[in-house]
Structure 1
């Protein structure tokens, strides 16, 4: 059975097994999806380069998908786009296969995931808790293993809060880096299309196929040295859920242990700006987006409108124009202060949200609960910053997430820092996983980075195994061995575990002694596999063997 087709069938089986119909607004007909999977597999078999072939994805229900209605979570609003939004088209052109459109807080208005006529989207790990919004269905579809990638949007934090609550990655690019054509706006001047994935490398790979193709302005270079991370004093974070202050402190310590320089900043300009997004005049842009439609639907009885969303949008209609000018001036001053606080820091580390409420808590106080969730995320787009939300452990058995925030166009820098938040392991490789070799992408997909190139202690022999793809076997022999070229990679400890689980025989993971006297986990070979393998120790490494004339 072909790989894409088998993954499609597994996805539909997973949809049935998890029984979460509230995730979806529209699923594509299974026959259509399987037919597309067969076509993709045939194209790959013919040698066509499709870097995302086999990856399944979903799109938030306010993003245009040709052949499916765009509803933005309001059935009466539905229209039928003739073409995909550019972000959808970009992923499809790279070989990704779309399953359907996902549920959201109606008109992307909310951070809770409960404001939808299609039902509240429950958390992936605890169905009594919210999933986070507004990109609720997209995040849960990834977290439950139905799709590899999902598109969301982020105005106030909708591409980050659901990531934190569901233990996945949420990548929020610099405004304008990813096109928003074909997206129902929430606040058009602030909106960003985001991507969810289970790992950062997967999210980055998808984002590369979603960008507009325009060259981003250059970011001033930084002086050599360790990453400089700004953090907030605990007393400025406000009330956090039980165990969350300790989890945040642990994330700070993890960065410090990875070699980052840590310093505190004044979080006040960030939190003051955050309160302006809904409490100030900027919410008027939500009325500009869909206000006239909401007014008309209310006049006809309001069927299908979420009352909380309708209230937010209609109240924005009557804001006086002078308030917008006043708030714009205030925001500019706060942004100047915020960027000054960041100064030479490479990133600001914050909890993604202050807590993870239950469905009942949000139902009891829908506006208050939502406002609390945006405390750390609301200011990001107002200040034109980039951000990435990543898992940072668990609290009481549920995911805890943090985010790194940086100035516009520091997206790549944030992605380099984020892997340091996970406990790091080292891995010694001598063959097909070396830089540029066929299996090196396995390491890169797990977030691995090259630490250094060295050699083993002179106690090993290297053999060319008869495998596909070709790979060497490293065996400890003690006396009579030689130094063998070795790369040392750093990768998340979880990634090392995943790599070990998929390791085929005759390869094993063991302790590799290096020439400096230290030992690092690395790939070794079962001695029984060497019977018909050529001894290539004399070449000093796999690369030299392959480059022999």
Structure 2
């Protein structure tokens, strides 16, 4: 009956609403696990009867109080569950946890049902997924291809449809590389968004729990549950939670330029990436090419700099007391730290800071960066022949991300021409998780790639109802603060997010204040006026005062009437400013007016000087 039921959260909840019982879903989970018959996926699979008992104990179906009600999930076996062993894929390291990891506790409270703990590259050190003393899991799509790591089992369990979502961890790409290799979504939040309490560290300063799912929507739902500040985690950071929203209609997206992009001879991967960039363009993105050399230099620091010593600090005592217990490649990687001095460590810190300062102007010029999640595919044979080299190649576009304090999401796109899954990663500045999720959601539906190893189709795209959260104020912008224009960063730097594009009621006139730099509009109420194109953004209330402090005369904030009969706070202008200003109402909006200027001068595009290479 449930053999073909997709396990994405929305369709699973629809099944529950129609009368399906959680025990039936759990029975189907174990049927699928038996059918797959891969002993390398789970290191600890909970007893079927134990999970069925937990399913029976769920309260009545209530998504308001339990947004993950009846949703099966798995976690990587470096994350604690009360009463279960945590091995980090090292039997000698194993211990019985006496409490749930912070994120696991939140998931269980939300009604999710834990199925088991999954395999990984030992101590989360690797991107290949085969550095484990246990049987290595098989790639869900092609057993000749490596499964990807270090969160191998978690990604495969989702790709095969055994669970709705899973948790991994991500320090160097462990939450993104296996997503790409198994055709699913891999979301790496901003560092500190999710608590690491109850997680075996790899590099404490760079670690984060990550989320695997088949749909971007599901990653967003899970994030909303687990993104809670944990004062017990010294590296936790507080970010306001907001519902998933639409992406801005105009974005500046940076991509590696032709001179520095790397595919290691994989032309199918190159073609797939180029096609995806074209699709981003159809979604309103302006593509800007970036010299990626400094990003590669940052990436080299992760294993060629002092952060290897941070990994060593976790395992030094254990290795001393348990010689020979580490996987040979894990030991080779970590023991390289023995030659790193305190002086080397500080030199590494300084080098990273210099590189971050050098690329800051590039990052400030774009809203997002888009890269291939992996530069090429790697076979099991390739990895066995050169385990370190293969791993390094897989980390080309992932190793720098946490060092740069980016958030990122690996999203499935159209399959490559050879049938392998396409996948790109969208990277955003710290705290811009909502933006990368919003764009990834649109891209997944635009490209309509596969859902892992399952034959299911994407569900109908759920219509979003954009509105400000309780901690936000809706703000209407009419000119240079609109998406893709020169002052939009004044919104995004304060945590504002796009809600929707609309028009004013037909009673406003729009003027150009030519003396302003950049040139700015002046919106004045006039009953003989017209409807003017606007954008509505949600601004965190606590940052609103900071924003309006910088608004110069003759501009101000008032209440605007929109064509949908809503009244929203937004930019207005003193009528005296129109005396020497140009009336541009007939253009219907600021962006159209700027386009008319660019047609005449060829030098301005949307208020931004054309710049296609940074």
* TM-score of Structure 1 vs Structure 2, range by shorter chain: 0.7 to 0.9
CA contact (8 A) 1:200 1:447 kept: no
Residue 232 of structure 1: aligned partner: 256
Which TM-score applies when normalising by structure 1? Answer: 0.74
In the aligned structure 2, how far is the partner of 1:297 from the partner of 1:391?
41
Residue 350 of structure 1: aligned partner: 371
In the aligned structure 1, how far is the partner of 2:76 from the partner of 2:220?
18
Q: 1:202 aligns with which of 218, 221, 226?
A: 218
Residue 375 of structure 1: aligned partner: 396
Alignment map for 1:47-446 (pairs within 5 Å): 49-213=65-229, 215-216=238-239, 226-240=250-264, 241-298=266-323, 302-303=324-325, 305-395=326-416, 396-422=418-444, 424=446, 446=461
* Residue 112 of structure 1, CA deviation: 0.4
CA contact (8 A) 2:78 2:87 kept: yes
Change (3 A) 1:444 1:49: farther
Per-residue CA deviations over 1:103-130 (Å, capped at 9, x if unaligned) read 0000000000000011222211001111
In the aligned structure 2, how far is the partner of 1:218 from the partner of 1:36?
29
CA contact (8 A) 1:109 1:309 kept: yes
* Residue 212 of structure 1, CA deviation: 2.3
The yes-or-no answer on 1:24 pairing with 2:42 is yes
Residue 532 of structure 1: aligned partner: none
* Residue 250 of structure 1, CA deviation: 0.6
Structure whose residues are more often helix by fraction: 1
In the aligned structure 2, how far is the partner of 1:109 from the partner of 1:419?
30
Aligned-partner SS, 1:422: helix
CA contact (8 A) 1:275 1:375 kept: no
Per-residue CA deviations over 1:206-235 (Å, capped at 9, x if unaligned) read 11111123642799xxx9860111111133
Change (3 A) 1:139 1:448: farther
In the aligned structure 2, how far is the partner of 1:375 from the partner of 1:33?
40
Per-residue CA deviations over 1:77-126 (Å, capped at 9, x if unaligned) read 01111111011111111000000100000000000000001122221100
Change (3 A) 1:132 1:47: closer
Aligned-partner SS, 1:381: coil
In the aligned structure 2, how far is the partner of 1:80 from the partner of 1:387?
32
* Residue 2 of structure 1, CA deviation: 4.6
CA contact (8 A) 1:295 1:314 kept: no
In the aligned structure 1, how far is the partner of 2:347 from the partner of 2:262?
27
In the aligned structure 2, how far is the partner of 1:2 from the partner of 1:39?
15
Q: Report how many residues are paired.
A: 428
CA contact (8 A) 2:86 2:96 kept: yes
Residue 492 of structure 1: aligned partner: none
CA contact (8 A) 1:281 1:327 kept: yes
Per-residue CA deviations over 1:378-408 (Å, capped at 9, x if unaligned) read 0110011111110112221111210000110
Change (3 A) 1:237 1:224: closer
Change (3 A) 1:333 1:47: closer
Per-residue CA deviations over 1:23-59 (Å, capped at 9, x if unaligned) read 011011111000001111xx12589831101211001
The yes-or-no answer on 1:11 pairing with 2:35 is no
In the aligned structure 2, how far is the partner of 1:282 from the partner of 1:47?
42
Alignment map for 1:421-500 (pairs within 5 Å): 421-422=443-444, 424=446, 446=461, 448-449=463-464
Change (3 A) 1:362 1:448: farther
Change (3 A) 1:45 1:257: closer
* Residue 242 of structure 1, CA deviation: 3.1
In the aligned structure 2, how far is the partner of 1:130 from the partner of 1:321?
36
Aligned-partner SS, 2:104: helix
CA contact (8 A) 2:263 2:269 kept: no
The CA RMSD measured in Å over matched residues stands at 2.5
CA contact (8 A) 2:373 2:410 kept: yes
